[in-house]
Amino acid sequence: MERAYLKSDATYDGLFFIGVRTTGIFCRPTCPARKPLPENVEYFAEAQAAVAAGFRPCKRCRPLLAASQPVWVAELLAEVEREPSAHISDRELKARGIDPATVRRYFHKRYGMSFQAFTRGRRLSGGLQRLQMAESLDAAVFESGYESHSGFRDAFVRVFGDTPGSYRNGDCVTLSWLDSPVGQLLAGATAMGICLLEFTERDRLEAQLTSIRKHFRMPAVPGVNGHLEKLQDELKKYFAGKLRRFTVPLQYPGTDFQRRVWRELLEIPYGETRSYEDVAIAVGVPKGMRAVGRANGLNRIAIVIPCHRVVNKGGHLGGYGGGLRRKQFLLDLERRTCRDRR
């Protein structure tokens, strides 16, 4: 890390962050500011770890914005999106001058799975979509990059738990990783709508994926669908201050009480807040502030179902699964937008 930092090696941007003890500021390894002495530098795997250690984000390299991907990652992902059926083996990675072990570490850290698992899931989710659109099995097999029906069938059964023919009308949680000013977001959507939007801290990612598979009782695989594309477009407009109410379809199963709370959250106007007591009264349980707090914390669709708009009595922020810094950022964004449009 020290060598990469001293050389401002862009291939490491996003893989670690540096905290400067003499200034209390943390940066990306490619920050253009003058480099401090190595003995004054502390290293962090995540930007949030630097914040937790008391470092402030640098105003030049802005490390709290979504970290730039290493060039080789951007190129691999672009190739996968351009041709999801392509197979990129470890041997081919080496031929391109990319260390397969580095690829595995990066994808496990950012996506919770290996690069091969990522591309395999992407191929199979595309195959399932073709089956759901009533395309032929041949089209699903060969356009997904498989050379035989048996190879496609075996891989399909391992991921979806059933054969392609039997699962044609089945569903899955399609996963997409979205960059935002408050960090990377993990989004998930079924055929019915968005069912997941959460922050992707490294220590939570595996638990998030396990939870979503268990809760919806269906596989979760990387891919794209119309709901995710609409969500990404609406999030861009939201963070630009150009959208106040999301219209993307949502799927948020839960207990009757939880759903009442979540529906009430959706009714909190943009730029305003409500206390836990206010929400409890609105859902018919005036003394149920703690239960409202628990339901608020179990919201799986951050930002869109605006649990960040619920604060303690008196206006204090209270808790937030994404961290108080993010909660304050979202509230400030909405208030600033409302103020600027008056």
**pLDDT above 90: percentage of residues in the chain:** 40
Residue 80, pLDDT score:
85
The reply to whether 52 and 75 lie within a common domain is no
Summarised one tens digit per residue, pLDDT across range 116-152 is 889 988 888 888 888 878 778 888 888 787 888 888 8
The range of the structural domain enclosing residue 206 comes to 173-239
**pLDDT above 70: percentage of residues in the chain:** 96
Residue 303, pLDDT score:
96
What pLDDT band is residue 274 in, cutting at 50, 70 and 90? very high
Give the lowest-confidence range in 50-54, 67-71, 275-279: 67-71
**Residue 274 and residue 268 in contact, taking contact as beta carbons nearer than 8 Å:** yes
The reply to whether 141 and 213 lie within a common domain is no
> Is 195 a residue of the active site?
no
Residue 203, pLDDT score:
60
Kindly state whether residue 301 falls inside one of the protein's structural domains: yes
Residue 67, pLDDT score:
53
Dihedral sign of CA atoms 319, 325, 328, 330 in order:
negative
> Is 27 a residue of the active site?
yes
- In the set 31, 61, 307, 338, the catalytic residue is 307
| Residue 252: pLDDT over 80 | yes
Query: What global pTM score does this model have?
Result: 0.76
- In the set 27, 31, 61, 172, the catalytic residue is 27
List strands edge to edge, sheet with 185-189. Answer: 194-199, 185-189, 173-178, 220-222
Residue 151, pLDDT score:
87
The reply to whether 91 and 45 lie within a common domain is no
Q: How far apart are alpha carbons 143 and 173 in whole angstroms?
A: 21
Q: Which of 110, 132, 160 is the last residue of a domain?
A: 160
Residue 62, pLDDT score:
80
Kindly state whether residue 168 falls inside one of the protein's structural domains: no
The reply to whether 263 and 330 lie within a common domain is yes
Helices (H), 53-164: 71-82, 90-95, 100-111, 115-132, 137-142, 149-160
Q: What CATH number is attached to the domain comprising 89? A: 1.10.10.60
The reply to whether 135 and 209 lie within a common domain is no
Quick one: average pLDDT of 261-288?
Answer: 95
pLDDT mean across residues, the chain: 87
Kindly state whether residue 200 falls inside one of the protein's structural domains: yes
The reply to whether 128 and 190 lie within a common domain is no
| Residue 307: pLDDT over 70 | yes
Rounded to the nearest 10°, the torsion over CA 324, 330, 335, 338 is -170
Tell me how many degrees the CA angle 279-283-289 measures, rounded to the nearest 5: 50
What pLDDT band is residue 70 in, cutting at 50, 70 and 90? confident
The reply to whether 133 and 102 lie within a common domain is yes
The reply to whether 118 and 194 lie within a common domain is no
Quick one: average pLDDT of 293-317?
Answer: 91
**Residue 20 and residue 36 in contact, taking contact as beta carbons nearer than 8 Å:** yes
Kindly state whether residue 303 falls inside one of the protein's structural domains: yes
Quote the number of domains for the chain: 4
Amino acid at 264: E
Residue 93, pLDDT score:
93
Summarised one tens digit per residue, pLDDT across range 82-112 is 887 778 889 999 999 999 999 998 888 888 8
Q: Which of 57, 79, 97 is the last residue of a domain?
A: 57
| Residue 237: pLDDT over 90 | yes
Residue 249, pLDDT score:
97
Residue 201, pLDDT score:
67
The reply to whether 76 and 47 lie within a common domain is no
The reply to whether 77 and 148 lie within a common domain is yes
Residue 236, pLDDT score:
94
The encoded tokens of residue 272 equal 């305003």
Q: Which of 109, 126, 160 is the last residue of a domain?
A: 160
Residue 10, pLDDT score:
66
